[in-house]
Structure 1
């Protein structure tokens, strides 16, 4: 009789165990490679947005402003022709207000229906797994991960309606000549994470990276960032970065009050936001400077250096980061 060759049960289990070990060893490397690719794509997005800002400046002799009206358009909307979205730009009637009504009861102007909920890939960081869509109870909006620099964030330098020390505010007309600290020392745009939308609590802080603390009381711009930071929360929201086209501060602006990926949540007062740059990139976040260069900023950056990078003319000498 001829014997038949076969694997024993023990041998099969050993082979399976070895395969499992190899997979466990390879999986982190695969994940790191994927994150490296996503980080490069994010860098490319910021580079293209920086170039778009430069091209807008070349055409208008200034950076795009945030609309002076709360029912107007964002600076991100104004650079659409320079990020290969000229056709979308032509669909927008900038002579018509984006929103109708006033206060918290504003709604989308029907003239612009079908535009604000369009996803623009260049405005999205591929490392953010959050929901880019935001529904305010009436309309659905598409968001962006890339925010424009309002200022250093301390004092009133977070309030885009209070002439802050960054590059953008309501009705701003800043140009390269106004960046006296130097374009290589001043942030143009920085990234953030989408808010938690309906997945986070409105009464309890459960995810500082995805929630905004709401602070009430007093008129807009009447509280310093330090007051807002220490004030009790009147609630929490996941609305951050909810619309690339609206002027609301927590949708499109950023400042340097908190360090990157801060463990403290961003905070808002009448829509103005006291904030931090946030990302899912391990160890830090990415920015594009006013000279068009893109940098990765570690979470360990000195806070005074970080805030100096958001100031256009404070005379600071930022330290290496």
Structure 2
């Protein structure tokens, strides 16, 4: 019987190490590309939702004759006769019929108090109001709670507020209330009072009847957008620091008309765009996204643009202000063509 010697075939240690190194190198090359592709998808989805919010707002304008008011807020002292506002629903409730949420819209009273609505109504969270990649369904609602919060106002002043928070849905998009014109010093000229906003989605004085709101006075129409719809923000992503999603005061119930920064923001000198989610020192009334380097906005003409996070605050102010005579600077704004 003839015997044949067969030498064992195997990889040497050096060959195994080389193969492992090559695999690690390939993973290192492919991982950033995969992450970039995922971020591009999230950004496109987010901008598509902003586009739908913009279309809903313009449809509201066509149906009602004006853009929706951010909320109802009197331009008088709280103790004066004629102040009939409280916590009536925000503008996001008013556009529900135009984002295929007619059933939800019918459950709201536009002139009733936010807290008087059923929890399932207050906590309804349509996907269109959330930016993919920022939150999951588990943090799309903030529960009822009593808490004391520290507040930094645009003037740089520090304060605290005790809040009896009523549960409600939270979101990622805010209407453009304008800039800091009028300040926030407890005066009747404060930017947040009815009719004082310089943006598109502004607080409006209520029409009062028998001590209750029955309409709204300060209506922003296309003719009031002197700078043009293509030069003025309608809405954008609101700045929420990482770790503060579904937390007050940075991200309160978006339907509660008493909590302005939960559904409307401003921009300009002293209120810059946040340069990322790690920024936690800015006042909680500005815009900002979690997309690297940019913040998406929908303009009053329905177009969707991205703005460089490092945009000059004066240029940002001109985009937030509907009648200051300024417009877009191409160095700061990137148009999105043929996608939405």
1:114 aligns with 2:125: no
Deviation at 1:8, TM superposition (A): 2.1
Deviation at 1:155, TM superposition (A): 4.2
* 1:271-286 pair list within 5 angstroms: 275-286=285-296
Q: Provide the TM-score with structure 1 as the length reference.
A: 0.77
Deviation at 1:3, TM superposition (A): 1.8
Over residues 9-56 of structure 1, what are the superposed CA-to-partner deviations in whole Å (9 max), with x where a residue is unaligned? 322222112111110111000000000011101110111111000111
Deviation at 1:186, TM superposition (A): 0.7
Q: Give 2:142's aligned residue.
A: 134
Gaps of 5+ in 2: 73-84, 146-164, 185-189, 205-217, 333-340
2:229–2:301 Cα contact (<8 Å) kept: yes
**Relative to structure 1, is the Cα distance of residues 93 and 175 closer, same or farther in structure 2, using a 3 angstrom cutoff?**
same
1:124–1:144 Cα contact (<8 Å) kept: yes
Provide the rounded CA distance (Å) in 1 between the counterparts of 2:171 and 2:86.
Answer: 18
Provide the rounded CA distance (Å) in 2 between the counterparts of 1:136 and 1:112.
Answer: 13
Over residues 189-229 of structure 1, what are the superposed CA-to-partner deviations in whole Å (9 max), with x where a residue is unaligned? 01124456xx56xxxxxxxxx79xxxxxxxxxxxxxxxxxx
Q: 1:88 aligns with which of 101, 104, 107?
A: 104
1:127–1:279 Cα contact (<8 Å) kept: no
Over residues 251-303 of structure 1, what are the superposed CA-to-partner deviations in whole Å (9 max), with x where a residue is unaligned? 01111132221557343xxxxx6x32111111120111100001000022121
Q: 1:259 aligns with which of 249, 263, 272?
A: 272
Q: Which runs of 4+ in 1 moved over 6 A?
A: none
2:89–2:112 Cα contact (<8 Å) kept: no
- Larger Cα Rg: Structure 1 or Structure 2? 2
1:34 aligns with 2:80: no
**Aligned residues: CA RMSD:** 2.3
Find the residue that maps to 2:14 and give its secondary structure: helix
Gaps of 5+ in 1: 99-107, 201-209, 212-236, 268-272
Provide the rounded CA distance (Å) in 2 between the counterparts of 1:253 and 1:287.
Answer: 13
Q: Give 2:198's aligned residue.
A: 165
Q: 1:181 aligns with which of 199, 207, 227?
A: 227
1:71 aligns with 2:87: yes
**Relative to structure 1, is the Cα distance of residues 281 and 183 closer, same or farther in structure 2, using a 3 angstrom cutoff?**
same
1:133–1:242 Cα contact (<8 Å) kept: no
Q: Give 2:335's aligned residue.
A: none
Q: Provide the TM-score with structure 2 as the length reference.
A: 0.73
2:241–2:280 Cα contact (<8 Å) kept: no
Find the residue that maps to 2:120 and give its secondary structure: coil
Find the residue that maps to 2:325 and give its secondary structure: coil
Q: Give 2:60's aligned residue.
A: 56
Provide the rounded CA distance (Å) in 1 between the counterparts of 2:60 and 2:127.
Answer: 20
